[in-house]
Structure 1
């Protein structure tokens, strides 16, 4: 009986994962189209808070104020508006949200992307910001935390689906920007050696991520795995919203590992 149940469960799980992957790519396509339609590709935008500091979901005291900035850094081939659903939620929670359309579709190398982001944040007078980043954006965010310490641009980061350990199959990718995520790439190696800021980073991964797998693990950071299938759709998951809310009301990222 156990064997029969096992053989029945496995195909169902495979179908569920396959369906989740299809939904994941559908979500990515929707966000790409919506970003273009809303003009979030080339327009520089700084979004003011729309809710009370800390948001209605906060219980008890909070250290957040309306002056706290949240900087969104999307992943590769993702325009600034790709993370708009999250941006709107953050505004409702009382944050000024900075997006970086100057990054275009985020096809530059990680160091070049960090240079562009740092220059814009300096222009805006951003200091000790909280970064919420997706995929490649988390690598850019960590570089901002390590190579621009004199500017004090970023204090903490929540990285979502970021391949801190590299993506195994990226060396076979069809484009040069995608091939830069393979394990052992000099930039990833340099970032991995810098452990000091990892305690201020929370790395969130999906239980099933068809693009980066479990390479979101970050030594010395807090690692969270959510019961989600997909590299993109995780951005809209209720589970992630809970993690974001908790992260924004915790002054330190903390360390350790947690499975969702």
Structure 2
């Protein structure tokens, strides 16, 4: 009994230190991506990024679907650059949306802007890879614009499909929009048909969205990662990205 008590009392502080360290690394990753995005001037660059080794970027007539990257709130297009480069190296044409700026608009406004840009580019049946709020924008593209066939399926990373419990206390209006009672989130939640074409990946400990990444009817995966941002560089997440792009089957439920 004494040994069990000692193990319990030492395990809790150790876990707390691990979580604290993970959150520091998470913040460092977010800061790195923000600084790198500004330094590379992504707002001034083209929206379409050709597959590596194929100049031009026109995929008309190609059987390989385009990949559309949608970052989260306060994340510029360049925030997801590591994923963009990885996908280009695998022969994919990647579309980013610098027009979204820091993605502070409402979800419907962001979706309309994205839809307009995809129409201009002649994109159809695209594959979306999104982070955080980007997954909500992506699902609206799949549902409200379904007749246009702009997006076929989506991999959503750390997306608060169930809302973020403490968002109503956030310091800015765009962040407060993620409260669970938001009508937009409620409307998206009622549309279950699209969920079967969505893979939702969450972190084991995400201080911003918690376990709200679970989506009924979707393929849900939880990775043993601490943080909201660092999951983007986790090797297990990158393997999921590769499988998703290659249309490999996923387990229905996986816990980390």
The verdict on a shared fold, with TM-score over 0.5 as the criterion, is: yes
Pairwise TM-score range, normalised by the shorter structure: over 0.9
SS at match of 1:235: helix
- TM-superposed deviation, 1:42: 4.0
1:44 aligns with 2:46: yes
- TM-superposed deviation, 1:51: 6.6
**Deviation digits for residues 125-180 of structure 1 (CA, Å, limit 9, x no counterpart):** 11000000000000000000000012100000000000000000000000000000
Aligned partner of 2:33 in structure 1 is 31
Give the distance between the partners of 1:41 and 1:184, measured in 2 at CA.
33
Aligned partner of 1:76 in structure 2 is 73
**Deviation digits for residues 31-87 of structure 1 (CA, Å, limit 9, x no counterpart):** 0010010011343321111179xxxxxxxxxxxx77320000000000000000011
Q: Is this contact kept in 2: 1:134–1:161, CA < 8 A?
A: yes
Size of the aligned set, in residue pairs, is: 247
Normalised TM-score (structure 1):
0.92
Give the distance between the partners of 2:43 and 2:226, measured in 1 at CA.
27
Aligned partner of 2:59 in structure 1 is none
Q: Which runs of 5+ in 2 are unaligned?
A: 55-61
Q: Is this contact kept in 2: 1:42–1:102, CA < 8 A?
A: no
Residues 80-229 of structure 1 mapped to structure 2, 5 A cutoff: 80-229=77-226
Aligned partner of 1:22 in structure 2 is 24
Aligned partner of 2:5 in structure 1 is 3
SS at match of 1:17: helix
**Deviation digits for residues 210-241 of structure 1 (CA, Å, limit 9, x no counterpart):** 10010000000010000111100000110100
Q: Is this contact kept in 2: 1:206–1:231, CA < 8 A?
A: yes
1:247 aligns with 2:244: yes
Normalised TM-score (structure 2):
0.93
Give the distance between the partners of 1:85 and 1:48, measured in 2 at CA.
15
Give the distance between the partners of 2:248 and 2:231, measured in 1 at CA.
24
1:256 aligns with 2:247: no
- TM-superposed deviation, 1:6: 1.1
Give the distance between the partners of 1:17 and 1:225, measured in 2 at CA.
16
**CA RMSD after TM alignment:** 1.5
Would the alpha carbon gap of residues 108 and 255 (structure 1) be closer, same or farther in structure 2, given more than 3 Å must change?
Answer: farther
SS at match of 1:202: strand
Q: Is this contact kept in 2: 1:217–1:223, CA < 8 A?
A: yes
Instruction: Please identify runs of 4+ aligned residues in structure 1 that moved more than 4 A.
Output: none
- TM-superposed deviation, 1:101: 0.1
SS at match of 1:250: coil
SS at match of 2:163: coil
